[in-house]
Structure 1
Amino acid sequence: MGADLRRARAAIAAAFLTQGLVFISLTTRLPRIQDRWDLGELALSGVLLMMVLLAGAGSLLAERLAPRLDSARVLRAGLLTVAASVAVAVLAPTTVVFVLGLAAYGVGLGLVDATGNMQAVALEHRLGRVVLPSCHGAWTLGGVIGAVLTIATAHVAWSAVALVALLPLAAAFAPYLPRDHGEAATTTQTDVPWRPIVLIGLALVAFYTVDTAAATWGPVYLDDTFSAPEGLVALATLPYLVASGLVRLVGDRLTERVGAVRLLRVGAAIAFVALTVVVAAPSWPVAVLGFTGLGCGVAVVAPLSFSAAAALAGRDADPATRQARVDAVVARFNQFNYAGALLGAVMTGAVGAGSLRVGFAVPLVLVVALFWLARAFAPADAVAAPADA
């Protein structure tokens, strides 16, 4: 690997890490946000719905901007948007300003999600081997750091949380992967094989339903259902992220050795058992054990989804056409992310308005679909083929 690719890989990992740290720093503080702005479960669900819809809009905006401006530039713009919006939301003097800050954060979230994955897929294709699991592992590492910070700073002044905005500000100036779209960037993408990509997308919906439910409602679950100590509610998220991060960091090798299809089916079985433990937990430590197992089970679904979708999009195409197709697919494919986030964040809260045990039954049911959908991930195995040759 050349020095430029090493620097780009470090920069892409930094963007994923920053995104995870900021997101988890906010979601693990939802109980505190609820108290600060006097929000009930339904009101909080409405705010999260707005943020998810605007994140989807940000992802579609990235699809339009990336071919014209380069995904690296759009990624930088997204990181700057995240930095500014987080500062506004945390320091907001009124509920209206707080909501506007979260709205802007939603747009920035979508921009960074889409272009970060564009960058990671481009790096994967240049290296000729699977790297997306470890890139997503950097996101998870950032989330772990964010959860630890939440626990460590549970009693600091609320305004101090605004310092988190310095991280995306710094990441905006990292040396990302320059991308030459060539003339093919202006062509239409009518020949993209959307039907098999949709099957992979459905698996991504199931994953983000589970993931967002754990990250968003896990701390509230421990707080409301078990009356866990306030400083420990982030433990719903922290062990989940640690387990997920460890699996993702070795996910590149696991995929090459075991294969994506088999790896996903084993993970789905683990996730089903883990969610059953979460729903039936008699105490908050048992629920934490369930969340930990859940992190192991679903860790590689998202990165392998993007690998498989990008492999299908770029099949039998020259480099410039493949670049244009993959960018279009990654941005649109990211919408499955937000569909899952919608189910995980909004439906879990809405269905679980009376009891979050019932709310967590939503991801419990949907995770079963991963057993059937795993077969659509066979193209992800082909990404590693050049490295094995």
Structure 2
Amino acid sequence: MLNKSSIQLLSVAYFFAAPGLSFSLLTSRMPALSQRLGIDPAIVGLILFCLGCSSLCAMALTPKLTAKYSSKRLITIAALLCPLFVILCGLSPNIYVFFVCVAALGLSLGFVDVTMNVQGVLLEKAENKSRLSFLHAVFALAAAAASFASGLLTSLGADPYLNFLILGVPYACFIPLASKRLFDDKESDEEKTERTKSVKSVPLFIIFCGVFCLLASETEGVVVDWGSLYMASLDGVSQAIAALTFGFFSLATAGCRLFCDRLRDNYGDKTIAAAGGVLSSLGGLLVVLTPSFPLLTLIGFALLGAGLSPIVPILFSAGGKVPGVSPAIASSTIALFNYGGMLFVPPLFGYIVQHTSLAMPFICSIFSCLVIAVGCGVLLNKRPH
């Protein structure tokens, strides 16, 4: 029999699955959707870019909406809309309707991303335990499960909209039940006035949490955008082997996040974040120094994922607990940096790669990981109390 604490943890975790599930469903069936709608790869890239931009807009709006309606109400509505807009993407009759549905999905994903971290911070505060690493692992595992399930349904000949219905509707049905266990954080007028007086702008501590999140997400984005291309450029590496690159990285990230909370409680966030930065930089070194040994290169990508696994959860947790600052404002600020790093920085390496080599993005990522190791160690040592 589950106790109250476990039920609350699973309820919050259920909402962390929403963005991973929804985004993975859409991207896994994008080839079929683009073929049916007659969309070329350049337009697909533009549509996905607009999805990211609409998510960033939602993240910027979330603190005001959370202050007015509470993160509990906002995340419940947005999480219900995520599978709905994915299904509508599958039913889109033309590119224009598809574009609108994708943009609406991006807004919903942005709202969920901030509010789920708000709920995670509130859970950590209530239990005085580390929880965000596990919760972020649920996000990654939901994405992986949706991808594998979509692959199975594709092999069985299911149309994208049927794929979305089969996986999206059952998830949506349990959202009202899970939402009952969420934290209601709507502020009273007195609390809002007091917080506004005490904090005139976002503290530098939260800004730096965002900057280090940007470096971590930039490194993840480099693996997503350039990892398989780098592997495929190595002698004797097939396309099938190159396709495993992000799999090694993401499985290591998700697997380590399942256990990181216990390490955080035992050794402290500062130690784990610094160690993670060092481990990820060693993984990056292995990637660029072993081009003749593909297995070692893949292990390097796994070490990159393992080292980065605790960074983002730790920074969201630290930023969300700054005294006098709403967790919604902190989470929104950090999320903007986080997604901005993944969305905008990796494509910039295209010009650099053109004039150097495919190894250059990973060489830059090594330095990013070292900055994370040193910077997080210093930053978390000066955490406001």
Which bracket does the TM-score occupy, shorter chain normalised? 0.7 to 0.9
Q: Measure the CA separation in 1 of the matches of 2:65 and 2:233.
A: 43
Identify which range, 246-255 or 165-174, moves more after superposition: 165-174
The answer to whether residue 248 in structure 2 is matched with residue 239 in structure 1 is yes
The answer to whether residue 213 in structure 2 is matched with residue 204 in structure 1 is yes
Report what 1:145 is aligned to.
Answer: 145
Which letter maps to 1:90? G
The answer to whether residue 313 in structure 2 is matched with residue 303 in structure 1 is yes
Q: What RMSD, in angstroms, separates the aligned Cα atoms of the two structures?
A: 3.4
Percent of aligned pairs sharing the same letter: 21
Instruction: Select the residue among 169, 175, 186 that pairs with 2:172.
Output: 169
Q: Measure the CA separation in 2 of the matches of 1:243 and 1:336.
A: 23
Q: Measure the CA separation in 2 of the matches of 1:133 and 1:117.
A: 11
Q: Measure the CA separation in 1 of the matches of 2:224 and 2:88.
A: 22
Which letter maps to 1:309? G
> Where does the alignment leave 5 or more consecutive residues of structure 1 unmatched?
315-321, 383-389
Change (3 A) 1:284 1:99: farther
Q: Measure the CA separation in 1 of the matches of 2:139 and 2:184.
A: 21
The alignment's TM-score, normalised by the length of structure 1, stands at: 0.81
Instruction: Select the residue among 199, 222, 228 that pairs with 2:239.
Output: 228
Q: Measure the CA separation in 2 of the matches of 1:168 and 1:205.
A: 30
Q: Measure the CA separation in 2 of the matches of 1:146 and 1:215.
A: 18
Query: Could you say what secondary structure the match of 2:239 adopts?
Result: coil
Q: Is the 8 A contact 1:58 1:107 kept in 2?
A: yes
Q: Measure the CA separation in 2 of the matches of 1:52 and 1:153.
A: 26
Q: How does 1:1-389 map to 2 (within 5 A)?
A: 5-27=5-27, 39-40=40-41, 43-153=43-153, 155=155, 156-159=157-160, 160-163=162-165, 164-166=167-169, 168-173=171-176, 174=178, 175=180, 176-182=182-188, 183-186=190-193, 187-188=195-196, 190-191=199-200, 194-215=203-224, 218=227, 228-229=239-240, 235-278=244-287, 281=291, 287-311=297-321, 313-314=322-323, 322=324, 325-343=326-344, 346-347=347-348, 357-358=359-360, 360=362, 363-374=365-376, 375-378=378-381
Shift of 1:274: 2.4
Q: Measure the CA separation in 1 of the matches of 2:170 and 2:332.
A: 24
Q: Measure the CA separation in 2 of the matches of 1:103 and 1:351.
A: 30
Change (3 A) 1:72 1:281: farther
Shift of 1:130: 1.6
Q: Is the 8 A contact 2:74 2:111 kept in 1?
A: yes
How many residues in Structure 1 have an aligned counterpart in Structure 2? 369
Q: Measure the CA separation in 1 of the matches of 2:28 and 2:16.
A: 18
Change (3 A) 1:23 1:357: farther
Change (3 A) 1:103 1:220: farther
Give a deviation string over 1:247-293, Cα, whole Å, max 9, x none: 11111111122222222222222222323444564587555433322
Give a deviation string over 1:285-332, Cα, whole Å, max 9, x none: 555433322210100111100111122x22xxxxxxx4x622222222
Q: Measure the CA separation in 2 of the matches of 1:25 and 1:362.
A: 31
> Where does the alignment leave 5 or more consecutive residues of structure 2 unmatched?
none
Larger radius of gyration: 2
Change (3 A) 1:46 1:227: farther
Q: Measure the CA separation in 1 of the matches of 2:222 and 2:32.
A: 18
